[in-house]
């Protein structure tokens, strides 16, 4: 994040109050030169790309699926779910490993307030395992999730896990003393095509800032948080989200999905059934080969629902997200890491139950089909929102990844009807 903090300005003025009149002029010169340097850094970053007007898929008049979205068309349509980001953008030009340029960040999803004591049922599915989502062994064993989820880049997983643990210990000081320890859920994608990934620039404080700032309501998408340096289908990718609401006859439940899209090749992209990737570029440009060892990308899918599903059913729900991914053209290549985690706010699992039993509402498997369909649709639209909301980014070594051209996208879809 770029900007000159108000707190820093106040500190400067307090410092100047203690400087003698004779030295105040030179002190001001030091301060002003520092401010100019900071502003220049911000301007150079901001000026790297002009302001880009972006729109979500539905705002372009492109509708996918049959179910209507929720009020925010986001994972936060599930009451209690919060999302937060910390975005890190600095430097430009040649890569200086460990120093920049930086195009990365962290995104967090908080299932509900006090999730440590009021756990949510959870399940997961690994579609292709060239990657990592920590903590899944405990999710599979317990059938629940008891802390927020963090998304970041591959080499930053340990630091982000440290940040998550530090934040949790701050919230619950007895962790590891008179209370359980924790194995946080941190999922990664490789942003090394644009970012100095060796620098591991996401700090513990960045994670805690994202968690403290997480909120309900609309979710910022595209080139933000963990999605800052991501590439999807040869275009700029990143964070995308969407939701679906079932009819009252089907229970009135909501399914919300958030993705970090960093997967796929240009010629694979399909939008609303149209092979946009094949039509977008001439074949010689669309078939650029990856060399051995070069990342083929990944995608992380987080699903939330207020339907009272258990861990087994949520694992089934997670598997259906793979169909939404396929609808956008992905073939889940060998080098792709595709991890899906689903949780439900429809039940509450107590931290330390006093009695041997407690009550949960059990959802009938025979009524799961609408939730399956809603998951497929929301996953598809979340991925496409990531593409249409992402902005063009120039990263390390002046690598430039263009955002998909929205006017061209609409033209291709219109001419295919």
As for how many domains the chain has, the answer is 2
The CA-atom distances, in angstroms, between 259 and each of 20, 105, 170, 287 are: 55, 14, 28, 25
The domain in which residue 137 lies consists of 54-415
Q: Are residues 103 and 40 in the same domain?
A: no
Give this prediction's pTM: 0.87
Active site residues: 298, 336, 338
Q: Residue 164: which H helix or E strand, with range?
A: helix 157-171
Q: Classify residue 1: in a domain, yes or no.
A: no
Q: Are residues 34 and 181 in the same domain?
A: no
Please give the structure tokens belonging to residue 110: 């908080």
Question: What's the pLDDT tens digit per position in 68-91?
Answer: 999 999 999 999 999 999 999 999
Q: Classify residue 49: in a domain, yes or no.
A: no
Instruction: Look at the block and give the residue holding tokens 């404080």.
Output: 205
The CA distance from 309 to 371, in Å, is 10
Q: Are residues 296 and 157 in the same domain?
A: yes
Q: Residue 142: which H helix or E strand, with range?
A: helix 136-142
Q: Are residues 251 and 400 in the same domain?
A: yes
- Whether the per-residue pLDDT at 28 is higher than 70: the answer is no
The CA distance from 378 to 374, in Å, is 6
DSSP per-residue string spanning 89-107: EE--BS-BTTTB-EEEEEE
Task: Provide the pLDDT for residue 49.
Answer: 59
Please give the structure tokens belonging to residue 3: 């900007």
Q: What is the mean pLDDT of residues 190-204?
A: 97
Please give the structure tokens belonging to residue 325: 């991914």
Task: For the beta carbon of residue 7, count every other beta carbon within 10 angstroms.
Answer: 8
- Whether the per-residue pLDDT at 115 is higher than 80: the answer is yes
* CATH number for 343: 3.60.70.12
Q: Are residues 74 and 29 in the same domain?
A: no
Q: pLDDT band for position 283 (50/70/90)?
A: low
Q: Are residues 179 and 293 in the same domain?
A: yes
Question: What's the pLDDT tens digit per position in 290-339?
Answer: 444 445 679 999 999 999 999 999 999 999 999 999 999 999 989 899 99
Q: Are residues 160 and 25 in the same domain?
A: no
Question: What's the pLDDT tens digit per position in 100-113?
Answer: 999 999 999 999 99
Question: 411 or 20, which is more confident?
Answer: 411
Q: pLDDT band for position 40 (50/70/90)?
A: very low
Q: Are residues 84 and 220 in the same domain?
A: yes
Q: Are residues 102 and 14 in the same domain?
A: no
Q: What is the dihedral of CA 31, 196, 242, 360, to 10 degrees?
A: -100
Q: pLDDT band for position 34 (50/70/90)?
A: very low
First and final C-alpha spacing in the chain: 42
Q: What is the mean pLDDT of residues 388-408?
A: 97
Q: Classify residue 234: in a domain, yes or no.
A: yes
Q: Are residues 24 and 106 in the same domain?
A: no
Q: Are residues 160 and 11 in the same domain?
A: no
Question: What's the pLDDT tens digit per position in 143-191?
Answer: 999 999 999 999 999 999 999 999 999 999 999 999 999 999 999 999 9
Question: What's the pLDDT tens digit per position in 225-276?
Answer: 999 999 999 999 999 999 999 999 999 999 999 999 999 999 999 999 999 9
Q: Classify residue 323: in a domain, yes or no.
A: yes
Sign (positive or negative) of CA dihedral 303, 308, 314, 318:
negative
Look at phi and psi of residue 37 and say left if phi exceeds 0, alpha if psi is from -120 to 50, else beta.
alpha
The residue among 254, 242, 277, 275 whose CA lies nearest residue 384 is: 242
Q: Are residues 220 and 344 in the same domain?
A: yes
The residue among 292, 317, 322, 287 whose CA lies nearest residue 305 is: 317
């Amino acid at each position: 994040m770029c900007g000159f903090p108000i707190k820093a300005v106040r500190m400067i003025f307090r410092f100047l109050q203690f400087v003698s009149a004779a030295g105040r002029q030179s002190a001001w010169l030091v301060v002003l030169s520092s401010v100019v340097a900071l502003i220049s850094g911000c301007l150079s970053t901001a000026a790297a790309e002009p302001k880009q007007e972006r729109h979500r898929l539905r705002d372009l008049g492109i509708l996918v699926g049959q179910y209507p979205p929720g009020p925010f068309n986001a994972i936060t349509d599930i009451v209690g779910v919060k999302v937060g980001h910390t975005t890190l953008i600095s430097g430009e030009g040649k890569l200086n490993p460990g120093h920049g340029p930086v195009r990365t960040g962290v995104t967090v999803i908080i299932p509900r307030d006090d999730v440590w004591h009021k756990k949510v049922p959870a399940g997961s599915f690994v579609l292709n395992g060239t990657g990592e989502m920590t903590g899944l062994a405990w999710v599979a064993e317990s059938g629940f999730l008891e802390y927020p989820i963090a998304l970041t880049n591959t080499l930053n997983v340990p630091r982000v896990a440290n940040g998550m643990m530090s934040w949790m210990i701050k919230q619950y000081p007895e962790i590891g003393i008179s209370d359980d320890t924790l194995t946080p859920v941190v999922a990664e994608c490789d942003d090394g095509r644009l970012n100095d990934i060796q620098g591991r620039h996401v700090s513990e404080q960045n994670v805690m800032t994202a968690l403290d700032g997480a909120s309900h309501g609309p979710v910022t998408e595209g080139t933000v948080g963990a999605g800052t340096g991501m590439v999807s289908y040869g275009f700029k990718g990143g964070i995308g989200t969407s939701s679906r609401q079932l009819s009252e006859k089907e229970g009135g439940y909501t399914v919300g999905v958030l993705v970090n899209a960093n997967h796929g090749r240009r010629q694979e992209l399909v939008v609303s059934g149209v092979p946009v990737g094949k039509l977008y570029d001439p074949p010689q440009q669309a078939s650029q080969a990856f060399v051995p060892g070069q990342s083929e990308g990944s995608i992380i899918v987080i699903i939330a629902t207020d339907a009272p599903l258990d861990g087994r059913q949520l694992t089934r729900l997670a598997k259906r997200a793979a169909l939404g991914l396929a609808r956008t053209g992905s073939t889940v290549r060998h080098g792709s890491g595709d991890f899906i985690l689903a949780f439900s706010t429809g039940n509450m699992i107590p931290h330390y139950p006093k009695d041997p039993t407690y009550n949960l509402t059990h959802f009938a498997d025979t009524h799961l089909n609408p939730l399956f369909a809603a998951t497929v649709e929301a996953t598809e639209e979340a991925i496409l929102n990531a593409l249409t909301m992402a902005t063009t980014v120039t990263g390390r070594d002046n690598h430039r990844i263009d955002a998909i051209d929205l006017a061209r996208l609409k033209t291709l879809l219109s001419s295919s009807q």
